[in-house]
Chains A and B, each alone.
Chain A
Amino acid sequence: MSVNGTLTARALGISRSRRHSRKGIRNGRLAMLYLSPALLVFLVFTIGPAIFVLYISFFNWNLLNPSQSHFVGGGNYTALVHSSDFWNSIVTSVYFVGATVGGSTVLGLGIALLLSRRGIVRRIVRLAVLTPYFTPLVATSIVWVWIFNPQFGLVDSLLRLLHLPEVGWLQSTTWAMPALIVYTLWHDLGFTVIIFLAGLATVSGELREAARVDGANYWHEVRDVVIPQLVNTTLFVVVITTIDSLQAFTQIYTMTGGGPLSATTTTGFLLYQQSFVFYKTGFGAAIAVVLFVVIALFTLLQLRLSRRAA
């Protein structure tokens, strides 16, 4: 039976693949086999737990003793919609994600352009830019708390040197988020720079040369020749920094604890605070679900738009 079954499947597979060979190889079972290791990991450690989270979002869930939980239907969601903390956290997330993604794209490209030429100085500078990426996040974010210290820190010492007023970076609702973004960029830009350096290596030298011969200055050369060829690289950088900054947690945890007030409470951090510090597991789960839906819709919309454009 099973031998027969396999044979039939194989026969089907072959016949199908022949029929569709121009488009590629059609082989559902084999594809599933290839997908299964990754899917298994996702199923057990991400999708399964996520379904559990969806389930408990309809409960006033007691994590410490599930038998004390009770069903509240959409209660957590209603509370969420009416929670100003939640909406504030969305705004904060957009701020953080927007600035880190924008910052790493623009600065990453700029620095890569600066460092793309050969030479010993640039080799050393490259290493300097990449080093932070290899430092342990939790340890260096604490070092940066020291750097942002209003009385003893590096940043304010420089400000004083320039006769500018000192700023209580991590204590100010205005400046805490920029400080967090600066640290994040310092730590992560190295990766972006590698990607852009790589992208630059593929930019046609002839075109650049031609532009120069035509009398374009450096800025025009970059704008008209280099950047258009880096569209894919840029897209890649945007995708990956978006993922990273949406999931950012450690630096917020160690540097600001979501404060002052709620100036750096991103939705991800709010989730942590509600679920783990305040034992509001069901409410936290509802935040997770809504966050998921919002990002998914956003991505879907983006896909639609980019497809229509293409």
Chain B
Amino acid sequence: MQRHRRFIAIGAVLAAVAAPLAASAATTSHRTNVTISFMEAMSSGTQKPTLDDLTQNFESTHPGITINLIAEPNYGVLQQKEEAAIAAGDPPTIGQAYENWAAAYASAKAIIPLDGYVNNKKVGVPKTFKSHIWKGVWNDLFLPDGKIWMWPFNKSDYVLFYNANMLKAAGLSVPTTWAQYAAAEKKVTTGGSWGESLDTGTLSAPANGTLEYLAIVKAFGGTWIKNGKPTLDTKAAVQALQFLDDLKTHGALQVGTNYPEQTALGAGRSAFAVSSIAGYPYMLAAVGGKFNMQVAPLPAGPNGGEGNAMAGTNTVIFTKASAAQRAAAWQFMKYLSSPHATAYWAIKTGYLPVTKSALVYMKKYIATHPYQKIAAEALQYAGGNPPYAWWTQAEGYVAEAMQAVLDNGASPASALATAQQKAMAAASS
């Protein structure tokens, strides 16, 4: 019943976009009924009902297309299930995938390139649509072969959450460079409070802290990869890890597991939390109105270097799908990235709209949630996972290096040298 009411409500919101989409659907996939399946990990919080809403809306404007959502609890299980399904020759029609997964799928010929759809005169997207997709997001759709293999869906990047009351009490303004940030963290660190908590992640599951570090590497002028090879032990990388290690030594940085940044900020103990913007609803619940929580862009590097890490996935079409399914899948993927749909998705879940065209539909929301615009604009320079299958391992080795340094007293240079050596081995095998 409740679901029905919500559905009517979004029906109204999406009314404008429904008509033209329905028209295009009529020309492309009429006559036959086609069912497509979508394997995804949007199973928690507001993500599930929102995706249900969007799917229902799509189905009602595209008669003849039925979408089966196959929800997995997290990306780890999703990846495993996609692998199992591909191995058994029984993949879904489409699935969420990170860039590095897509690289593995593509080299196994398990997914298809999308250029034929994207650039198609009839069913493709117009030039303006392409140019309105955030640059970082757009670059992220390609594999090294120069083809488009993915289409954007749930994108987020990293922002700085802060406890405004605590900053005010300490007489601090919001840091705009990492140097200021370090000074601020040290200043708020007293007996019962500290700068930030982070999760380094593990070899098999990197976490927000891993991405925070990688963002700092970029801001310090470093790279993650170069010419298709990992570059984990650059000077900037060592500096960035040294930077975090100094904070740890000062007691300004604490390490934890399972979203410790939300716990620490929410409890009013840490002044900052670097986290994915998609964690906003959880962050808000943790704070629960105890103090004034605000969001700022990530600080910049020493030479004004902007660095951010993109999180969230794209969608891919699996090779096994029939021509009719592929066509319907493309319609659905295009729909999810359409300004109205991506705006609705962003408003409900805290993810970011994948195109700047969506911002006009979010005016009211942005007025009350100004950080959404900040974060969305940061998608221009945010780096997604490098599109190589071995990046999964390389990122794991980064997490390991962080554990070695932050928890076990290894030196940043030696820990990163080890990570680089292992990553090189993975990249060349």
**Direct interface between A and B, CB < 8 A:** yes
Q: Is A102 interfacial (CB-CB < 8 Å)?
A: no
The residue on A at minimum CB distance from B197 is A151
Q: Is the CB of A277 within 8 A of B79?
A: yes
Binds A, one of B104-112, B120-128, B231-239: B104-112
Q: With contacts A259-B203, A260-B403 known, is A150 near B256, CB below 8 A?
A: yes
B-binding segment of A32-40, A141-149, A232-240, A297-305: A141-149
A220 to chain B, nearest CB (A): 46
Q: Is B60's CB within 8 Å of the partner chain A?
A: no
A245 to B396, CA, bound (A): 26
Binding site for A on B (CB under 8 A): 76, 79-80, 83, 86-87, 104-105, 107-110, 197, 200-205, 254-258, 260, 263-264, 267, 269, 389, 392-393, 396, 399-400, 403-404, 407-408, 426
Q: Are B202 and A256 in contact (CB under 8 A)?
A: yes
- Closest beta carbon of chain B to A104's beta carbon, Å: 25
Residue in B76, B258, B392 whose beta carbon sits within 8 Å of that of A146 in the complex: B258
Chain A nearest Cβ from B87, distance in angstroms: 5
A64 at the interface (CB under 8 A from B): yes
A42 at the interface (CB under 8 A from B): no
Task: Compute how far the CA of A204 lies from the CA of B79 in the bound complex, rounded to whole angstroms.
Answer: 56
Taking chain A's interface residues, is the majority helix, strand, or loop, or is none over half, making it mixed?
loop
A257 and B204 contacting across the interface, CB-CB below 8 Å: yes
Q: In the complex, are the beta carbons of B408 and A277 less than 8 A apart?
A: no
Could you give 5 example pairs across A and B, Cβ below 8 Å?
A: A64-B87, A150-B256, A256-B202, A273-B203, A278-B396
Specify which chain B residues have a CB less than 8 angstroms from the CB of A145 in the assembled complex: 257-258
- Asked if A173 is at the interface (CB within 8 A of a chain B CB), the reply is yes
B205→A257 contact, CB < 8 A: yes
> Across the interface, do B202 and A258 meet the contact criterion of CB distance under 8 Å?
yes
Considering the chains assembled together, what is the distance between the CA atoms of A64 and B228 in angstroms?
22
Which single member of A172, A259, A276 contacts B79 (CB below 8 Å)? A276
Query: CA A261 – CA B397 in complex, angstroms?
Result: 9
- State which of B108, B202, B258, B269 has its C-beta within 8 Å of the C-beta of A142: B258
CA distance A152 to B192 in the complex (A): 11
A62 at the B interface (CB under 8 A): yes
Interface residue? A63 (CB, 8 A) = yes
Interface contact B403-A261, CB-CB below 8 Å: yes
Partner of A150 from the list B254, B267, B393 (CB cut-off 8 Å) is B254
Knowing that A168-B407, A255-B257, A261-B408 are A-B contacts, what are 7 other residue pairs whose CB atoms are under 8 Å apart, sorted by A's residue number? A150-B255, A151-B254, A151-B264, A151-B267, A152-B267, A256-B202, A260-B408
